[in-house]
Structure 1
Amino acid sequence: MCQLLGMNCNVPTDIVFSFTGFATRGGRTDNHNDGWGIAFFEGAGVRHFVDYQAADASPIARLIKQCPIKSKNVIAHIRKATQGQVALENCHPFVREMWGRYWVFAHNGDLKQFAPALDGQFRPVGNTDSELAFCYLLQELRRRFGDAMPALPELSAALRALTTEIAAHGVFNMMLSDGSALFAHCSTQLHYLVRQHPFAEAHLADEDMIVDFSQVTTPQDRVAIIVTAPLTANETWLPFASGELKVFVEGEPVTLYA
């Protein structure tokens, strides 16, 4: 299946270190070579890059590794196709507008007998179960809350119910962000860590690369990294529980009550 990478921070931060290790899994250290993509939030806008080439061989991926784009919320994806052909329109993450802001979504998994009726403005362009699930999520959120975006606790409660419903059809590891929070749901495998003061060195597991984060951060910085499988060999990654939805705001998981 595919793999996911997300970043949520309290200050704009670049994802070059994590993405370098992650992209290596797209054709070199692993076989997720059916396309890749990444989306960075910047203010109300989104920088969105996708490619049907394997991430390890993609010139666009090399550009991202060399370009320290800073963002508070990032979602990336490397694809091993289970549904839908290898094509640009089937590359994650997917982007849609709702409530006057962009929403970015990526999925790792395989949904069987999942054919919800779509009767609103959100329709898939490609032919993956992932984009269909994204459109259904947005449709049902819009159905519940109308034209006004709810507060974060109410939104999180609705997403918990919807992700549980969709996950009944198979594996539904996913990430979703509107640029202010990052939502991550685990069916089978997700891990996270929070880097904050005092910062230390980190060693990539898939690439010969070390960064001393104490040299490139301030004591106030806080960065949450969420990924399918741990990216570094010398840090403690915390696993999600199966069926768990976590919400990350300002670089840390938050507990919300609707």
Structure 2
Amino acid sequence: MCQLLGMNCATPTDITFSFTGFAARGGGTDHHADGFGIAFYENRGSRCFLDNAPCCQSPVADLIKRYPIKSRNVIAHIRKATQGALELENCHPFVRELWGRHWLFAHNGDLKTFAPDLRSGYMPIGQTDSERAFCVMMDGLRARFGTREPDDAELFTAVAGMTAELTRYGVFNFLISNGRCMLAHCSTNLYYIVRAWPFQVAHLVDTDMSVDFSQTNARGDCVSVITTKPLTDNETWTAFQPGELMMFVDGRPQSNRIIDIPEDVRLSNQANLACV
């Protein structure tokens, strides 16, 4: 399956260190070689970079490693295709507009027999179950709140309800952000770490690279990194519980809820983990 990487920060921060390790998994140290994408928020808008080439070989990925774009919310994804052709239109993260701001979404998993009736404003461009799920979520938010943008607590409750419905179809690890906060849901594998003062040295698992964050970050900085598998081997990462939905704001986890995974889906998820 695919892998996810997210970053939520108190102050604009670059993700070059984490992305360097993550990118190696896109066909180098792991087999996720069916394309990649990464998107950075700038206030209400975003800049998105996609490539259907393996991330470890992509000139676009090389650019991101060398280009320290600072952002408070970043979502990246390396793809191992289960549904949809190896085309750019099927690369995550996906982008849609709602309430005058961009929303970003990336998914790791496989939603089986998932064929929602999409007849409103949000339609998929590609063929993935992931993009269909995102369209369902955007439709659901617009139907629930209309033209009124919800606060973080209302948004968390709404996303939790939609996640409970969508997780019935299979593995539904995802990241979603509106540029103000980030929500992460775990069906099988997801981890996070909070880096804050006093910062320490971190060493990547996938390449021999270290950074002393005490030399690059200030006292007021706080950064949460969310990923499918820990990126460093000298830090303590926290595992999400199966079914856990968490919201990150200003670099720290703010809300969480365990969403029940149906028994048949849970057993299928365990079988998928055994095959990875």
TM class by shorter-chain length?
Answer: over 0.9
1:51 is aligned to 2:56: no
User: 1:248: which partner in 2?
Assistant: 248
Compared CA separation, residues 114 and 209, structure 1 to 2 (3 A): same
Q: 1:256, CA displacement in angstroms?
A: 7.2
SS in 1 for 2:95: strand
**Which portions of structure 1, spanning 4 or more consecutive aligned residues, are displaced by more than 6 angstroms?**
none
Report 1:228-243 matches (<5 A): 228-243=228-243
User: 1:61: which partner in 2?
Assistant: 61
Distance 1:224 1:200 in 2: 14
CA contact (8 A) 1:153 1:256 kept: no
SS in 2 for 1:255: strand
Q: Which structure 2 segments of 5+ residues have no match?
A: 258-276
SS in 1 for 2:108: strand
Q: 1:182, CA displacement in angstroms?
A: 0.3
Report 1:21-100 matches (<5 A): 21-100=21-100
1:153 is aligned to 2:153: yes
1:190 is aligned to 2:190: yes
Structure 1, residues 161-202: CA drift from partner, whole Å, max 9, x if none?
111110110000000001000010111110000000111000
Distance 2:106 2:94 in 1: 6
1:123 is aligned to 2:159: no
Q: Which structure 1 segments of 5+ residues have no match?
A: none
Q: 1:44, CA displacement in angstroms?
A: 2.2
CA contact (8 A) 1:40 1:71 kept: yes
Structure 1, residues 71-120: CA drift from partner, whole Å, max 9, x if none?
00000000000000100000000000011110000000000111111121
Structure 1, residues 12-49: CA drift from partner, whole Å, max 9, x if none?
00000000000000011000000000000012221100
Q: 1:255, CA displacement in angstroms?
A: 2.7
SS in 2 for 1:165: helix
SS in 1 for 2:57: coil
Query: What letter matches 1:139 in structure 2?
Result: D
User: 1:225: which partner in 2?
Assistant: 225
TM-score, normalised relative to structure 2: 0.92
Distance 1:241 1:47 in 2: 31
Query: What letter matches 1:119 in structure 2?
Result: R
* Range with greater deviation from structure 2 (174-183 or 38-47): 38-47
Distance 1:37 1:141 in 2: 24
Q: 1:150, CA displacement in angstroms?
A: 1.2
Query: What letter matches 2:55 in structure 1?
Result: A
Query: What letter matches 1:172 in structure 2?
Result: F
Query: What letter matches 1:12 in structure 2?
Result: P
Distance 1:79 1:35 in 2: 5
Distance 2:53 2:83 in 1: 17
Higher helix share: 2
Query: What letter matches 1:184 in structure 2?
Result: A
Distance 2:135 2:114 in 1: 12
Distance 1:231 1:39 in 2: 19
Structure 1, residues 192-237: CA drift from partner, whole Å, max 9, x if none?
0000011100000001100000000111110000000000000000
Distance 1:234 1:130 in 2: 33
SS in 2 for 1:168: helix
CA contact (8 A) 1:182 1:248 kept: yes
Q: 1:8, CA displacement in angstroms?
A: 0.2
Distance 1:239 1:81 in 2: 25
Query: What letter matches 1:201 in structure 2?
Result: V
RMSD over aligned CA atoms reads: 0.9
Q: 1:155, CA displacement in angstroms?
A: 1.1
Distance 1:71 1:14 in 2: 6
Compared CA separation, residues 189 and 256, structure 1 to 2 (3 A): closer
User: 1:134: which partner in 2?
Assistant: 134
